[in-house]
Amino acid sequence: MHKPTPLLQGTLDLIVLQLLRSEPTNGYDLAQRIQTVSRDVLQVNAGSLYPALYRLEERALVRAVWKETDTGRRAKVYSLTAAGRQQLESQRAEWERFAGALSHILKRA
């Protein structure tokens, strides 16, 4: 098993926004889903996830409500705001341009 790759700086916000786009999720599930969706390549620890969530909440890109989970526990469920959706679109476009340029360089040069 490979060692999980540490997150590239600044990409966590993008990942969180993208995952929240499909459905509202609590912190634990979000961490799990990052791991699953990235096929275990990316691992996010709570120490970066929660500050990121609070940062996004403070910038009004996500909002949070307390809800009951399937297991009957109270959990804080995060969802995307309109502003968050906008931010996601622009960040994703930027990321694709950046990633495209980078792979271009890595293949050609």
Partner 1 sequence: MRLLRQLMLRLRAVFLFGRLQREMDEEMRAHVEEATERYIARGMSRADARIAARREFGNMTVIASDARETRGARWSESLAADTRLALRGLRRTPLFAAVAVLSIGIGVGATTAIVTIANALLLQSPPGIGHADRVVTIGGTRNGKGFDTFSYATYRDYARASSLTAMAAMDVEPRALSLTDHDDGQAVQGGVVSGNFFQTLDARPRLGRLFGASDDTEGNSAPLIVLSDRYWQKRFGGDSGVVGRTVDLNGAPFTIVGVAAPRFQGPFVIAPDLWIPLRAWAQLANSVTLFSSRQSVWLVGVGRLAPGRAASEAQAELASIAARLRRTYKDEADLDGVRVVPLSLIPGDGHAVVGAFMAAMFVVAGLVLVVASANVAGMLLARAAGRQREIAVRLALGASRARLVRQLATESLVLGVGAGLSGLVLAHWLVAAVMSLVPKLPVPIIVHPTIDAPVLAFALGITLLVGLVVGALPALESTKPNLVPALKSDAGTTRRHRLRSALLVSQIAVSMLLLVVAGLFGRSLLRARSVDPGFSTGGIDIVSLDFRLAGYDSTRGLDQAQQLLEHARRVPGVAHAALSVMLPLSGSAMGFGPILADGHPAPKGQEWSADWNVITADYFAAIGIPLVHGRAFTEADDHGGRDVAIMNETFAKRLFGTTDAVGRTIRNGNRLIAVIGVARDAKYRSLDETPLNYLYVPLAQWYVPHANLLVRTAGTASAAGALRRIVAELDPHLPILDQQTMSEATALSLFPQRLALWVTGSLGVVALVLALLGIYGVIAYSVAQRTREIGVRVALGAAQGTILRMVLRQGLMLAGAGVVLGLAIAAAATRLLASFLFGVPPTDAVTFAGAAFLLTAAALAASWVPAHRAAACDPMIALRTE
Q: How far is the CB of 56 from partner 1 (least distance, A)?
A: 9
Q: How far is the CB of 22 from partner 1 (least distance, A)?
A: 20
Is the distance from CB of 79 to CB of 24 less than 8 angstroms? yes
Cα atoms in the Cβ-side hemisphere of radius 13 Å centred on 76:
8
Q: How many Å apart are CA 18 and CA 29, to the nearest integer?
A: 14
**Residue with smaller CB distance to partner 1, 82 or 109:** 82
**Residue with smaller CB distance to partner 1, 89 or 96:** 89
Q: How far is the CB of 10 from partner 1 (least distance, A)?
A: 15
